[in-house]
Amino acid sequence: MTPGTGAPPSRTGFPFGGGSDLRALHTEELTDLAARIRSFLVERVCRTGGHLGPNLGVVELTIALHRVFDSPRDVLLFDTGHQAYVHKILTGRADGFDALRQRGGLAGYPSRVESDHDVIENSHASTALSYADGIAKALRHRGRRDRAVVAVVGDGALTGGLAWEALNNIATAPYRNLTIVLNDNGRSYDPTVGGLGEHLARLRGDGRVAPKAPAPSPARPALRATAAHAPATVFEAMGLAYRGPVDGHDIGAMEVELRAAAAAERPTVVHCVTVKGRGYGPAESDEADCLHGVGVLDPSTGRPAKAAAPTWTSVFGTEIAAIGAERPEVVCLTAAMLRQVGLDTFARRFPERVFDVGIAEQHAVCSAAGLATGGLHPVVCVYSTFLGRAVDQLLMDVALHSLPVTFVLDRAGITGPDGPSHHGMWDTALLSVVPNLRLAAPRDAARLRGLLREAIAMDEGPTAVRFPKSAVGSDIDALTRMDGLDVLHRSRRLRLDVLLVAAGVMAGPCLDAARELEAQGIGVTVVDPRWIIPINPTLAHMAARHRLAVSVEDCTRTGSMGSMFVQVCADAGITTRLRVLGLPRDFIEHGSRAELLIEHGLTGTRIANEARRALSATVEHGRPPGGQDKESEGDRP
C-alpha cells in the first residue's frame, strides 16, 4: 500500500491516491514524474484513442494543483473534462488506461462512479464556473469554509456565454474560497477567437493569439510579470483578483501562485500559460488541433495506425464546398470546431463566408437568424449533442420567424467512446416540437449530398440534416420513390406482413432484418422516409396495408420519428400494430458504436426478432391482417 493514501500498488508505476504522496516529492522527482506521465499518456492514448493534446499540456499544472490543494476535501473541477487524464493518474486510476473509453473501462471524462475525486461529469464546455459558484455557496451555507473550490478553465471555454454569466456572479459573491485556474494555451480545437483571445495575448505580452510550441532546448519567451502598475485585466475590472500570467509548465512557479490564491480573501484568477501537446513532437507540430482528440495512432509518428475510410463528415465537407461555389448566399457558422465539422475546405475557398463564434452555440444560432434576416442562407454546423444548448434560439429566433437556416448535426445517434454526454441521441426529440422545421436523416453518402441540397434550397423555414460519427459505407439505392419516400425492399409473392420504417443509417440493419424475415416466409417492405420530421402521411397509408409496422432509429424513442408515426396513425384511425425501436430514455455509457448498437437492439437480427415477436402477438390477439395474400404488382407500395 502507498503510505498515507491506502492506494494499492500500481502496475503502471503511478501508485498515487491523492496529493499527500506528491507533496513528499522533491523538485527533481517532480520533473521526472512529469516526464513519465507524458510518456505514459502518449503510449496509452495512442493505443486506445482519446484526448491527447489537452492532457499533455496540463501535466505540471495538475501536479501543482494536487500538491497545493487536498482533493477530494478540496473540490477540483475541470472545464472541459477532457483535460482530466493527469488528474485521473494522480488519483489512483493509471491502471485503468489500458481500457480507456472502452466498454466497461475508464471514462474519457471525469466520472463520479470512478472516484470521489471526480465531483462533476462535465464534458460540455463553459460549465465549471457555474458549478464552482454553486458549490462554493453551498459550502459557505453549510459552514464548511475550510474547503476550497478550484475550477480549471481553458481559454477556449471562456468564449462560452455561460462562463461569463458565472463570472458576473462570482465577482460579487460573499465566499472567499474560490480559485479559477485559467489554462491559457490559445485554443480549444482551433485558436481562441474574438476579443477575449486578443486580450489574453496582450496579457501574455507576446502579441500572439496562440502560444507557439517551444523548441526542445531554448528557453521559452519571458512572460509578463505581475506588477502593481500592470494594466487592468478584464477580470480585475469585474472585481476579481488576478495573478499571472505564470508559466503553467513550471511546477514551482505554479505552486507559488496557487498558494497565494488559496490564501486570498476573494475569488482569484490564476492565469497560467501552457502549450497544448507539450513534450510530444507530433502534437506540438500539428497545426490543425495539436492532436486534440485522436484515434489509434503510431506513437512514433503521431499518425493514424491505419488509413481512415471516408466519413460522413468528410462527405459533408466536400459537398458544402461545392454548394458554396454555386450559391454565394450560403454562409457557414461553427462553434470553435471548424475542422471537426468538416468546414475546412469551405473555409479555405470562402474565408469571408465562415464565422467561428467560439464555444457559443446560442450566439451561433441567433446570429444565424440575423444572417437569414439579412438575406443569406446560414448553415450552422454543430455536433448533435451541442444542439441542446441553443434550443431556445432555434425555437424563438429561427423557427418563430420561419427563417431559412440549415442545421447540420454531426455525430448524431450513438457516437461511442466519448460516452453519455456526447451521444447525439436527443436531437430528434428536441426538434420534433419545433414548428415549421424539417429534419432529414440520410442513409448513405448519395442521400447526404442530395438531402443537404434539398435543405439549403428550402426558404420557408428551418431545416436540419443529421448523420453519425462513422465511416460512411456503400450507397443503398432505392427500388422506387413514392411521394418522397424511398422504397428499399419489397417482398414478392408474399403477403404484406411487416413494414420496416428505417431512419437514416438504420436502413442497413432493416435490410438485414428483411432478408432474415423473408427467409422464414414473412413478407417485408422497407422504406426510408428521407425526411423524418414531419411524418409523411403516405407512411400511414403504407402501414394500413401491413399487419405490423416497425420504426427503427438511433435516437431516443421518446419524441422520436416512431412516436410521431404512432400519433399520425392513431389520428388516421389505422389499426395496424405498431412498434417503435430506438434508444432508451437513459444515459448510455461509453463503448464502441458497434457494441452499443448491438446492446440496444439496433441490428438486423434483433430487429427481425422484435418483428416476429410482435407478429405473434398480433395473431394471439386476433388482430386482422393489414395486407393481402395475393396482390398485383400495381398494388405494391
Annotated binding residues for Mg(2+) = 155, 185
CB proximity list for 489: less than 8 A, separation 6 or greater: 479, 511, 514, 524, 525, 526
Catalytic residue list contains 278: no
Q: Contacts by 511-519 with C-beta closer than 8 Å and gap 24+?
A: 511/476, 511/604, 512/603, 512/604, 512/605, 512/607, 512/608, 513/604, 513/605, 513/607, 513/608, 513/611, 514/489, 515/604, 516/604, 516/605, 516/608, 517/608, 517/611, 517/612, 518/491, 518/494
Annotated binding-site members: 82, 123-125, 155-157, 185, 280, 361
Three-state SS annotation for 283-302: HHCCCCCCCCEECCEECCCC
* CB 82 within 8 Å of CB 123: yes
**CA neighbours closer than 13 Å in the CB half-sphere of residue 319:** 21
Q: Using CA atoms, how far apart are residues 422 and 525, in angstroms rounded to an integer?
A: 33
Instruction: Choose, from 44, 67, 204, 276, the residue flagged as catalytic.
Output: 276
Instruction: Choose, from 60, 255, 361, 516, the residue flagged as catalytic.
Output: 361
Query: Which residues sit opposite 408 in a β-bridge?
Result: 381, 465
Instruction: Choose, from 278, 389, 449, 579, the residue flagged as catalytic.
Output: 389
Catalytic residue list contains 547: no
Annotated binding-site members for thiamine diphosphate: 82, 123-125, 156-157, 185, 280, 361
* CB 558 within 8 Å of CB 429: yes
- ∠380-385-390 over CA atoms, to 5°? 55
Catalytic residue list contains 630: no
Q: Using CA atoms, how far apart are residues 451 and 442, in angstroms rounded to an integer?
A: 7
Map residue 104 onto helix, strand or coil.
coil
* CB 455 within 8 Å of CB 468: no
Nearest to 154, CA basis, from 359, 304, 454, 332: 359
Cell of 328: 454565394
**What number of H helices and E strands is found in the chain?**
23, 22
Cell of 158: 471562456
Query: Which residues sit opposite 487 in a β-bridge?
Result: 480, 527
Residues 161-180: b if buried by 16+ CB within 10 A, e if exposed: ebbbebbeebbebebebbbb
Residues classed as catalytic: 276, 361, 389
